[in-house]
Homo-oligomer: A and B are copies of this chain.
Amino acid sequence: MQTITPWVHKVQYYETDQMQVVHHSNFIRWFEECRVHMLDEFGYGYEKLEAAGVASPVLTIEAKISKSVHFGETVEIRAAIEKFDGIRLTIRYEVRRAEELCCTGKTGHCFLGPDGRPISLKRKLPEVYEAFQALPTEFM
């Protein structure tokens, strides 16, 4: 079975703001780092999707920040599939510093074909559909 590892991110100086913590918009970028990493590990990276002419834009964003994160700290970000039917995809995330939960969130996506219109992966790219079906639904 496919192993999925957490994405490890070292917090950068340019990610801080004058409140001396990571600017909240960066959590959304870290979700993307983790999402890309998970799909890469799974063998269905963005490059493969884009090579097939498929884009997967973000339609919805949610984040709940429970602990501030600081410059120089290292966080682990995990992703899991919440919902996937070939047309819509919801991924959830958690950001931890050591064992401590700092942020949870979700992103919702659709799939667009080469003409920029929504497609069903099930009908248009059944191999990718099957692969996504096998993505983990729990944090690993």
Contact = CB atoms under 8 A, between A and B. Distances in A.
B72 A65 contact: no
Given A28-B28, A64-B59, A47 B23 contact: no
Interface residues of A, number: 38
A16 B18 contact: yes
A83 to B, nearest CB: 16
Given A28-B25, A65-B58, A65-B60, A17 B19 contact: no
A133 interface: no
When A and B form their complex, which 8 residue pairs have the shortest distance between CB atoms, in order from nearest? A16-B18, A24-B58, A61-B63, A25-B28, A18-B20, A14-B29, A16-B17, A14-B23
11 contacts: A13-B23, A13-B46, A14-B23, A14-B29, A21-B57, A24-B28, A25-B25, A25-B26, A59-B65, A60-B63, A61-B62
